A and B are shown apart, each in its own frame.
Chain A
């Protein structure tokens, strides 16, 4: 535990040294959020129809994406882990398969959390002060907010579990690029990172409901704005737990198989 805390602490101190990078990161996120919102604003301004999601809900959704980007994006590369797998030295790093799974997951978690605090949270202050319609809204209610926090953290665990599957698949593909490509290509769209899921056509929405991706982005953020009411949110949390169990369980099993293969073949 203390090892992970010192990793986070070290990243912190490191991050603070690079003040230019910190300010740059802040501005970048701000700008991209604004760009996305401006396009939505343009779409919404031209129509009088009733839509599944209001503009202010979409705006809040976009800002939440920016604020928690490090937690939700699937694109991160941990080259150390890739190096271990492709280099074949993994045989020497073994304790027991389950422990390795936990160790790597914790590492990924620590990195994402440290990044969020350093790079993404700072924009929170700014986005509440922007002029309408760009301003971020407060959560629907205290209940919504608490449920949001829970679902966000669970969503993070889902992301990490999916990440772990990507890393583990490299045992078979031996190509980090290839593995990332296979999942990342579709995951952004299916998680609701390009457009919010309620704005998608019905047939696509159905597809996203069977996949785990929406539980990382779409679900927590709509709980925040109350678009998903608390009652439904509780059900959603259960489904998140289900996905975590399934993905992590599958991941651990795959890892065990992969390591056995490595050990038998002699690394």
Chain B
């Protein structure tokens, strides 16, 4: 995995050449989601609560999912932006190198400006944590960290699926946004506010439920059951990622037999 970090360094160096645009984009990446959060704040001011959840509880959920999303947007950008690799033939270059396609695609692009969104997520997270009357334990802290990590893995899986789609067609890619941006929009609120089938889809098919909702219940002392069980729930995201990787391999095989 040192290769991944070498890629990171070289691309970081590249992007630092364009300092002004970096800061501008990061600025935008901070304030735009922030305005969405402001909207949320105003809704709570007017409505009081959201199906039994208080503002700070929802803010915690929001912060966690945004952190996960921002981290994935930054570090798994290679798959998110994969269509350009196919369109300009760069993927052939990757196939001529003696390394796996996944690590090379991951290393092909990083979006460091997303640190603006990460910062925003962090601010909201801390604000929520300060204002929540939660009794913290080591298990809960680990759960929190795993929730974010699990979220990153789920988003990574979705990006990978979207990238695999590029092997068949580069049109119609915005459908993937439904699951990335859309997934984020949905998961940033506790999942039980939605209709049953939505909650079930986002628990069992794309397991946001295991990564944001159920551990959240645990942290907020709304759940019974063994603490460690909740702590380990985010690992469901790995179960989601594995088929994504398999489908990616199928995609690469298809690309190699049909050409570009």
Contact = CB atoms under 8 A, between A and B. Distances in A.
Interface string A138-174: 0000000000000000000000000000000000000
A39 B185 CA distance: 9
Contacts of B185: 32, 35-36
Given A188-B32, A189-B38, A201-B45, A38 B194 contact: yes
A39 B189 contact: yes
Nearest to B168: A20
B194 A184 contact: no
Interface stretch (B2-10, B17-25, B88-96): B17-25
A84 B47 CA distance: 49
A16 interface: no
B28 A185 contact: yes
A51 B39 CA distance: 16
Interface in A14-53: 18, 20-21, 23-25, 27-28, 31-32, 35-36, 38-39, 42-47, 49, 51
B24 A43 contact: no
Q: Does more than half of chain A's interface fall in helix, strand or loop, or is it mixed?
A: helix
B177 interface: yes
Interface string A50-93: 01000000000000000000000000000000000000000000
Contacts of B126: none
Contacts of B25: 177, 181
B169 to A, nearest CB: 6
Contacts of A228: none
A21 B171 contact: yes
Interface string A183-195: 0111011000011
Given A181-B24, A181-B28, A189-B39, A25 B174 contact: yes
A7 interface: no
A180 B42 CA distance: 25
B31 A178 contact: no
A interface residue count range (under 10 / 10 to 19 / 20 to 34 / 35 or more): 35 or more
Contacts of A204: 42
A28 B43 contact: no
A175 interface: yes
A38 B201 CA distance: 15
A21 to B, nearest CB: 4
A20 B172 contact: yes
Contact of B171 (A18, A35, A199): A18
Nearest to A195: B39
Interface string B136-159: 000000000000000000000000
Contacts of A106: none
A32 B178 contact: yes
Contact of B49 (A18, A25, A35, A46): A46
B177 A28 contact: yes
B203 to A, nearest CB: 15
B243 interface: no
A49 to B, nearest CB: 8
B130 interface: no
A194 B51 contact: no
A44 B47 CA distance: 8
A177 B24 contact: yes
B14 interface: no
A71 B50 CA distance: 32
Contacts of B45: 201
A4 to B, nearest CB: 26
Contacts of B20: 175, 178
B238 interface: no
Which of B45, B51, B172, B186 has the most chain A CB within a 10 Å cutoff? B172
Contact of A46 (B35, B42, B47): B47
A173 B181 CA distance: 30
Given A177-B21, A181-B27, A186-B35, A200 B194 contact: no
B173 interface: yes
A50 to B, nearest CB: 11
A218 to B, nearest CB: 13
Interface of A: 18, 20-21, 23-25, 27-28, 31-32, 35-36, 38-39, 42-47, 49, 51, 175, 177-178, 180-181, 184-186, 188-189, 194-195, 199-201, 204
3 tightest A-B CB contacts, nearest first: A24-B172, A20-B172, A194-B39
Given A23-B172, A27-B178, 17 more contacts: A21-B172, A21-B174, A25-B174, A28-B175, A31-B182, A32-B181, A32-B182, A35-B182, A39-B189, A45-B51, A46-B51, A177-B24, A177-B28, A181-B28, A185-B31, A194-B35, A204-B42
18 contacts: A20-B172, A24-B174, A25-B174, A28-B178, A31-B178, A32-B182, A38-B194, A38-B195, A42-B189, A46-B52, A181-B24, A185-B35, A186-B35, A194-B38, A195-B42, A199-B42, A201-B42, A201-B45
